Amino acid sequence: MSFSWIPNAISAFRIALIVPILMLIKGGDFAWAFALFGIAGFSDGLDGYLATRFNWQSRLGALLDPIADKLLVAGLFITLAYTQLIPVWLAVIVISRDVVIIGGAVAYNYFIRRVEGEPTRISKLNTALQMLFLLFVLSRAAFDWPDKITITVLGAAILVTVMISGIDYVLQWSHRARKGV
């Protein structure tokens, strides 16, 4: 019996957690939102580990995992900005980068050739910083920890990595498009 479906099921589970997390935030129940977001974050690492460790990678998983991440991150940034726990401009910048990347990937897939999910190192760092930032914002709202300066520094790091990774993606994919590869 093959268990290669497990990483994709974990990604689908992460997607299913998004709405309850957002509803908990909107309702002001930050401790439960923090807990569910922690589970979602853990599941992100778990599905990647299982897919790599047991060679359970698939085209669906290569697309489903980043989609789950993007939906989770975008949903939280929008909701936290709406509830005034983070600045709106930061949510706009983070989501705008993802829209540009997704739009570019769709165009590349449609006009050039099939896109394979290949996040860059700076993009992985950016995603990790975003997840940590969101976890810390929820932790601060629920438990009054960490201090505001830690969240501000993480927000600044996200701003820098969003800009660098966004430019990096545009340059890399533009170069590939010109070469047709």
Q: Tell me the pLDDT of the chain (181 aa) as tens digits.
A: 799 999 999 999 999 999 999 999 999 999 999 999 999 999 999 999 999 999 999 989 988 998 999 999 999 999 999 999 999 999 999 999 999 999 998 898 889 888 876 788 999 899 999 999 999 999 999 999 999 999 999 999 999 999 999 999 999 988 988 887 7
CA 155 from centre of chain: 15
**Residues recorded for the chain:** 181
d(CA 124, CA 48) in angstroms, rounded, equals 12
pTM of the model: 0.93
Domain ranges of the chain: 6-179
> Could you tell me which CATH number the domain at 6-179 has?
1.20.120.1760
